[in-house]
């Protein structure tokens, strides 16, 4: 019970309270995010860390904490953590897969529909008083793009990509997918990434951000996309070249985009994507339902309790630390 564990934010769910029975738990209580300076100070001497994706756990921070025995993140993505540096020290890293799959696919599908049918633009149009007798129900008024029956290209056919495909099937879409290690899934056609970009009316990104996927959708690949296509990103901003995407949207090559994740978050207001009316944006809310966030926090707590009990974490990104 004398081991110190830092929890970098107040968490929802029930299981986080159980953690205090296993350690001396220090929860950062400010509503705002923990600054890198405060994180460094608070983590000193801790055996464990329960963090969010906004906490950067880099090699320097890891080296400065020789007592660290585990890291448990309340996220499925771990691109904010130097997993290699932790693995080298034999330190397990926990994450929260599974529970956010349907919620995140719902968000991707909602954003895709919103971009295709110009929902946000239309909402704004009414509120600023632009809906008048002159344009009332003109035949070409707010015309968008059909989702039903269109072709959806899924970049990354993991659990969330497959959940997206199930939703697409309900809309009568043809589903293409690319995955680094090809996967056979009924009803989904596996293609190369270039072919997917050339054939899809909608492209939705569902890969993790890592050294292989950073900048995956670069200017060349965006240039391959079908005229009038729509890009949806609920994965990580760093996967898409934002400047190249903004250029393709301005030139009219792409008709719209729906973006939940940005290279820099919170997104600076001078990001060129924010100046475009045909871009629907959201502040990284893919998994943001009350129930799913509670489930994610519970898994983060369960991973931490397992580590404190000397057991393998049930959801570990580097299980090799348990062999050897």
Query: Which one from 236, 242, 293, 315 is the annotated catalytic residue?
Result: 236
Query: Which strands, in side-by-side order, build the sheet including 70-73?
Result: 24-27, 4-7, 48-51, 70-73, 93-94
Set 24, 60, 265, 320: catalytic member: 265
Instruction: State the virtual CA torsion across 200, 192, 214, 281 in degrees, nearest 10.
Output: 10
Q: Is 23 or 100 the residue whose CB approaches ligand GLV more closely?
A: 100
Helix (H) or strand (E) holding 259: strand 254-259
CB nearer to ligand GLV: pick between 47 and 303: 303
Q: At what angle do helices 159-170 and 101-116 cross, to 10 degrees?
A: 50
- Rg for the chain (alpha carbons), in Å? 22
Helix axes 119-127, 101-116, angle to 10 degrees: 60
* Chain residues in the site for ligand GLV (CB under 6 A): 53, 75-77, 100, 286-287
Q: What minimum distance in Å lies between the beta carbon of 225 and ligand GLV? A: 24
67, 59, 65: which is closest to 88 by C-alpha? Answer: 59
Q: Which is nearer to ligand GLV, 100 or 239 (CB)?
A: 100
Catalytic-residue membership of 236? yes
- Determine whether 134 is an active site residue: no
Q: How far is the CB of 76 from ligand GLV (least distance, A)?
A: 4
Q: What are phi and psi of 25, to 5 degrees?
A: -95, 125
CB of 265 to ligand GLV, least distance (A): 10
Of the listed 22, 206, 221, 284, which one is catalytic? 284
Q: Based on CB atoms, which residue is closest to ligand GLV, 151 or 287? A: 287
Closest separation in Å from C-beta 260 to ligand GLV: 9
Active-site residues, by number, are 236, 265, 284
């Amino acid at each position: 019970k004398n081991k110190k564990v830092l929890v970098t934010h107040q968490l929802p769910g029930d299981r986080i309270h159980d953690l205090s029975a296993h350690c001396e738990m220090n929860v950062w209580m400010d509503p705002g995010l923990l600054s890198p300076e405060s994180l460094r100070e608070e983590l000193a001497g801790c055996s464990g860390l329960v963090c969010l994706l906004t906490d950067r756990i880099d090699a320097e921070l890891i080296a400065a904490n020789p007592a660290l025995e585990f890291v448990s993140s309340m996220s499925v993505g771990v691109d904010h953590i130097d997993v290699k540096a932790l693995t080298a020290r034999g330190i397990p890293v926990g994450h929260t897969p599974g529970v956010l799959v349907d919620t995140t696919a719902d968000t991707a599908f909602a954003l895709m529909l919103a971009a295709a049918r110009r929902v946000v633009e239309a909402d704004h149009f009414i509120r600023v008083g632009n809906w008048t007798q002159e344009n009332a129900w003109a035949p070409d008024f707010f015309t968008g793009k059909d989702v039903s029956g269109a072709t959806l290209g899924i970049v990354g056919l993991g659990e969330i990509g497959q959940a997206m495909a199930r939703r697409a099937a309900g809309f009568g879409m043809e589903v293409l997918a690319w995955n680094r290690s090809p996967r056979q899934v009924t009803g989904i056609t596996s293609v190369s990434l270039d072919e997917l970009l050339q054939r899809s009316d909608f492209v939705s990104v569902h890969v993790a951000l890592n050294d292989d996927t950073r900048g995956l959708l670069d200017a060349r690949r965006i240039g391959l996309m079908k005229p009038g296509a729509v890009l949806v990103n609920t994965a990580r901003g760093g996967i898409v070249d934002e400047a190249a995407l903004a250029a393709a949207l301005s030139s009219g090559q792409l008709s719209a985009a729906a973006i939940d994740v940005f290279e820099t978050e919170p997104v600076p207001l001078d990001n060129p994507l924010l100046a475009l009316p045909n871009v629907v944006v959201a502040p990284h809310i893919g998994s943001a339902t009350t129930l799913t966030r509670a489930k994610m926090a519970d898994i983060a707590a369960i991973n931490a309790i397992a580590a404190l009990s000397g057991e393998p974490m049930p959801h570990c990104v580097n299980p090799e630390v348990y062999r050897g």
